[in-house]
Structure 1
Amino acid sequence: MNNNALHTVEAQIRDQAAVYCESNHVPGFVAGVYHAGEQIVVAHGTANVATGAPMLEDTGFLFGSVTKVMTTTLVLRQVDRGLLDLDTPVVKYLPDFALNSPGVADKILVRHLISHTNGIDADLYFPDAKGRDALKTYVTGLASNCGTLFEPGEQLSYSNGGMIVAGRLLEVVTGLPFPDLLAHEIYGPAGMENSSTSAEQAILRSTAVGHFLDPETMTAKPTNMFTLPDTWGPAGGTPIGTVADLLAFGRTHLAGGLSPSGTRVLSAESTALMRQVSYDMASPNTPPIGLGWVLYPFGDTTVLAMSGASPGGVSILCVVPDHDLVFTAFGNTPGAIMLQDQILQWLLREHLGVQIPTLITELEQDVDLTPYVGTYRSNQLRIEVSIVEGQLEERTTYEPADESQERIFTEFAGGTTSAPPQRYVPIRPGLFAPAGYPLEMFDGYLRLLLVSYHDIRDDQARFRNGGGRLTRRA
């Protein structure tokens, strides 16, 4: 590929970032693209408005849930070594693993943990513990605090809990703490030279912090909490690194498990297995899932993707095997996800010539809304669904289990514990779009804003799916 093509990409991202950040109050943004042997990194704006530190090409940031692909890679490394088997029950390796309904944990296989099909109802469970025993503390707490949303393998629901249990499983079978494992078996071999596993390490170098918009002044204010607790490490709470590091990790997956320096990080078979469909909800708002990766269909092109929320920030990693391309980015307000989506679609359409079909072409008028009305629950979350003026209206409320959980969740969410009511219009039975949004907005990553309802029995939906996460009819 000639250098000019990537110069065009660099200029495009620079322009797009400047315009979006200015009009949407995003202090800073950093992005990188690797394509066919060349790579570029673009930085814009400010890493921390409190200090005025600039966002630089090598500024670190929280990976957030992009870490889940690393945790999955670690699991598959142990499978390659014969230390783990994907189709063995987790309790065989982790006898302490239990949930608050007797016997349900026994049915969860290792595979279910990393394919988001485990059903563990712990998505907002934030036990506050630090250090060597943090993951052990997390798993111990599940037995009294968390149940299941569905039978293992029955449904798909994005699972922080599954990844954290996988992290503890890794500690038990390798004898190493999860942060050490991540540093020695992912960062080192993949060539992620500026990545760390804690705030204490990250403070030794330049690091961005997240921000939330003040609704009254519309100015970005730094978060009061840099990272989630250590208990959330394997789900993305604590790992920090740079765009160049995520490009190196993405390139490792592009090259069948071989890092840019030629070090074997994962077998070609396991790298391929991560890309195979593990579960497909057959619903436009929830792409099929592999192991670790979400498999976004853009026409005939599959993008392996994972985005990661951190307190006041959002990262993304996309690998496009058909076109030898990796895209990664971080923005330091939650709204930066829309800029990441815009850049991804520009890269696919303009740079790679991928035809992206329209996902939602029209709305259906005469859809019976009654099967979806009711109360849906998951761990510490309640969603009330009613019919208002011919549309579905959802009211979402966080119901903290204790003061510690409330403190952590509130800081993570930027100070709010309930969302304003949101109206939805029917696309077809069981599938809804937030009212007032242009339909083309859902062609890319933001298809996750659509809401679907599943498993209709006796004219009532059993599950609501928003953002890939299930809540169950109460």
Structure 2
Amino acid sequence: MVDMSNNALSTVEAQIREQAAAYCASNHVPGFVAGVYHAGEQVIVAHGTANLATGTPMLADTGFLFGSVTKVLTTTLVLQQAERGVLDLHAPVVRYLPEFTLGDTILVRHLISHTNGIDADLFFPDAKGRDALTAYVSGLADSCGTLFEPGEQLSYSNGGMIVAGRLLEVVTGLPFPELLKRELYTPVGMTDSCTSAEEAILRSTAVGHFLDPETMAARPTGMFTLPDTWGPAGGTPIGTIADLLAFGRTHLAGGVSPSGARVLSAESTALMQQVAFDMDTPNTPPMGLGWVRYPFGDTTVLAMSGASPGGVSILCVLPEHDLVFTAFGNNSGAIMLHDQILRWLLGKHLGVQVPALVTELEQDVDLTPYVGTYRSNQLRVEVSVVDGQLEERTTYEPADASQERIFTEFAGGTTAAPPRRLVPVRPGLFAPAGHPLETFDGYLRLLLVSYHDVRDGRARFRNGGGRLTRRV
């Protein structure tokens, strides 16, 4: 039986503090903050520096960009409007957005289950203010297409969430930032959350950092947030660990916030947690609505991670164990620390048996079905066979100077990836060469690469990090 006493949370706090100090020191992560809620108690641990330019320390109440964790908030807002009869999850998006021109078979539920096929993962229109999301939807018609028929595949979709944000503006009459504050921040009790850099600067807020590839010295990002057009996908919302713990606890409690406010019905909360689509491949866990459902043995971890310029966040909710874990590190390498802590919480704190995801590599796999060129929005992946392994060469192909500027700043100046080799786990599933197999047991199963829909001896899709590229 797991000890749920204060002493158990003290052990959790000490463990996170120890892991954070060791990892940040050896991997050049300036600062880290994390929190755990379990069975009525919670702890928050902060370590290091929030901004190397100012020397500001990372504190328990330091704010940070949520990144794509925002997608679960956006989905919650959509479910709220569905409950109120303002939105029909099974209706075509064009019923509410006639200007949406990517097809009348994309349904509202496709937007929040990542099954819409919108090919806009790197589409960054630079618009600000009240009309930012209007500009985004308008730009889709000229700049983006679709990767697959709605409901046919699963591909992590920034574009779907942003269209959902614009849809919310239309049916409520409120700008997305105002809706987020009124319908989530306030009733959940996210008292230190905001939606802009102008608001964030009024309190302690962390910034992301990038590592110099030669000196390995960390430098603060030159771009704090993505454009306003990316708000619903995670570009602009900012808050604290306590705020995300409160949001996670709301989903633990069937839609009731820690203060007792009803934010979402129990039925809608459960619907978000149910399987909406399953690719049946280890590197892409089953998708709910908003939540990704990571299986760890018999335990399901509802999770979403979020990248921001030079930073990475995570939110995990474990309904079977009444636990929420959330964290932020101000260098992208902190995702490894997130994974370490999550696996410690599961294995040591909760006693969950986590089986190995990949136990061995298969030899003699025919590699020819996977060779070819795969494309998605502004991204090209060339796959060939070299020395009996797959080799991938990924090229960023910016649509215009504005897109190149924003993505380059988001990536810290480096947009070119070196070639990498993949070794077969089994037909259609590959692991990056040189990684210990236990690397993929946790959240980092996303590093595996899969190929799908083989027809006439050729795969139609490549899946890396949950995102599809299509053979051309």
Instruction: Return the TM-score normalized by structure 1.
Output: 0.99
Matches within 5 A, 1:397-416: 397-416=395-414
Identity, in percent, stands at 84
Q: Name 2:157's counterpart in structure 1.
A: 159
CA distance in 2, matches of 1:119, 1:281: 14
Q: Determine if the alignment matches structure 1 residue 185 to structure 2 residue 188.
A: no
Cα deviation, residue 414, structure 1: 1.1
Question: Aligned with 1:132: secondary structure?
Answer: helix
For 1:214-271, what per-residue CA distance to the aligned partner results, in whole angstroms no more than 9, with x for missing partners? 0111111111100000000000000000000000000000000000000000000000
**Equivalent of 1:36, from 34, 39, 46?**
39
**Equivalent of 2:18, from 12, 15, 18?**
15
CA distance in 1, matches of 2:141, 2:104: 12
CA distance in 1, matches of 2:395, 2:191: 41
Q: Name 2:254's counterpart in structure 1.
A: 256
CA distance in 2, matches of 1:129, 1:289: 30
Q: Determine if the alignment matches structure 1 residue 232 to structure 2 residue 235.
A: no
- 2:169 is aligned with what amino acid? E
CA distance in 1, matches of 2:38, 2:335: 22
Cα deviation, residue 418, structure 1: 1.4
Question: Aligned with 1:108: secondary structure?
Answer: coil
Q: Name 1:64's counterpart in structure 2.
A: 67
- 2:462 is aligned with what amino acid? R
Cα deviation, residue 98, structure 1: 1.0
Question: Aligned with 1:107: secondary structure?
Answer: coil
- 2:270 is aligned with what amino acid? A
For 1:107-157, what per-residue CA distance to the aligned partner results, in whole angstroms no more than 9, with x for missing partners? 000000000000000000000000000000000000111100000000000
Q: Name 1:223's counterpart in structure 2.
A: 221
Cα deviation, residue 27, structure 1: 0.2
Instruction: Return the TM-score normalized by structure 2.
Output: 0.99
For 1:83-110, what per-residue CA distance to the aligned partner results, in whole angstroms no more than 9, with x for missing partners? 00100000001111113xxxxx210000
Q: Name 1:243's counterpart in structure 2.
A: 241
CA distance in 2, matches of 1:39, 1:116: 32
Q: Name 2:134's counterpart in structure 1.
A: 136
Cα deviation, residue 462, structure 1: 0.2
Cα deviation, residue 417, structure 1: 1.9
- 2:8 is aligned with what amino acid? A
Matches within 5 A, 1:340-359: 340-359=338-357
List structure 1 segments (4+ residues) > 2 angstroms apart after TM superposition.
none
**Equivalent of 1:443, from 436, 441, 452?**
441
Question: Aligned with 1:78: secondary structure?
Answer: helix
CA distance in 1, matches of 2:334, 2:217: 15
For 1:53-100, what per-residue CA distance to the aligned partner results, in whole angstroms no more than 9, with x for missing partners? 00000000000000000000000000110000100000001111113x
Matches within 5 A, 1:283-362: 283-362=281-360
Matches within 5 A, 1:419-458: 419-458=417-456
Q: Name 2:90's counterpart in structure 1.
A: 87
- 1:89 is aligned with what amino acid? P
Q: Name 2:375's counterpart in structure 1.
A: 377
CA distance in 2, matches of 1:466, 1:415: 22
Question: Aligned with 1:133: secondary structure?
Answer: helix
Q: Name 1:367's counterpart in structure 2.
A: 365
Q: Name 1:102's counterpart in structure 2.
A: none
Q: Unaligned 5+ residue runs, structure 1?
A: 100-104
Question: Aligned with 2:136: secondary structure?
Answer: helix
Q: Name 1:269's counterpart in structure 2.
A: 267
CA distance in 2, matches of 1:453, 1:304: 25
Q: Name 1:170's counterpart in structure 2.
A: 168
Q: Determine if the alignment matches structure 1 residue 25 to structure 2 residue 28.
A: yes
**Equivalent of 1:198, from 177, 196, 199?**
196
CA distance in 2, matches of 1:329, 1:136: 32
For 1:178-228, what per-residue CA distance to the aligned partner results, in whole angstroms no more than 9, with x for missing partners? 000000001000000000011111010000000011011111111110000
Question: Aligned with 1:193: secondary structure?
Answer: coil
- 2:328 is aligned with what amino acid? F
CA distance in 1, matches of 2:391, 2:24: 31
